[in-house]
A and B are shown apart, each in its own frame.
Chain A
Amino acid sequence: DAGVTQSPTHLIKTRGQQVTLRCSPKSGHDTVSWYQQALGQGPQFIFQYYEEEERQRGNFPDRFSGHQFPNYSSELNVNALLLGDSALYLCASSLYVGQGNNQPQHFGDGTRLSIL
């Protein structure tokens, strides 16, 4: 039973560039959430996708965008990279079982993004 997989594991970019991170949810899951985890901090919620639509969004600028595909996989795109975007980006998946029923999220190992 494949868990949440993310690619790439590490990435180095320079300021101003754009980056795309990818996530495949755990088998049987249909909802994907993305988080940014700065060093020594807790994960910060970026957004959540379900049925190929962004359903909820945290306090992140429009430079952060995403997409969910029909097979439930997802991409996180970040434009105009800043030094402060350096972080571990985590993808989490879960199964939607109805409004208000928050199933546990299963996390991937993350993508370590470094901005030079």
Chain B
Amino acid sequence: AQKVTQAQTEISVVEKEDVTLDCVYETRDTTYYLFWYKQPPSGELVFLIRRNSFDEQNEISGRYSWNFQKSTSSFNFTITASQVVDSAVYFCALSEARDTGNQFYFGTGTSLTVIP
């Protein structure tokens, strides 16, 4: 079973529209971390945000905002007033801590295209 599910494979929006990327995760751990990464066409994964399982406070950073809800095991990402530079593949990831390290699970990604 997938640990991290990103049901939206591809999304296209017109510039300045808002867009929400969905992420649903599965874990039996009580302590875990969730991440969002952006992968532009150049290929390098760029870290966007980290959230631990005990902090359900939503966060806003400029045009980006994240909605973490443990009750639905979701960690959704919203881009407000999208720009062409936001075009990329976005990955949600889950990290479970083990005694000797961390296991990481990435979703399959959502490809976002912002049309000018």
Contacts and interface: CB of A to CB of B under 8 A. Distances in A.
Contact of B101 (A41, A44, A48): A48
A23 to B, nearest CB: 13
Nearest to A109: B44
* Interface size classification for chain B: 20 to 34
A71 interface: no
A44 B4 CA distance: 12
Which 9 A-B pairs give the minimum distances between C-beta atoms?
Answer: A55-B101, A42-B106, A56-B101, A107-B45, A100-B97, A102-B33, A102-B95, A55-B100, A104-B47
B91 A43 contact: yes
A16 interface: no
B25 to A, nearest CB: 13
B91 A105 contact: no
A31 B33 CA distance: 17
A88 interface: yes
B101 A100 contact: no
Contacts of A107: 37, 44-47
Given A45-B105, A107-B44, A56 B91 contact: no
Interface in B58-73: none
B109 to A, nearest CB: 5
29 contacts: A31-B101, A35-B104, A41-B109, A42-B4, A42-B107, A42-B108, A42-B109, A43-B45, A43-B91, A44-B106, A48-B102, A55-B98, A55-B100, A56-B101, A56-B102, A90-B45, A92-B45, A100-B97, A102-B95, A102-B102, A103-B50, A104-B35, A104-B47, A105-B35, A105-B47, A107-B37, A108-B44, A109-B42, A109-B44
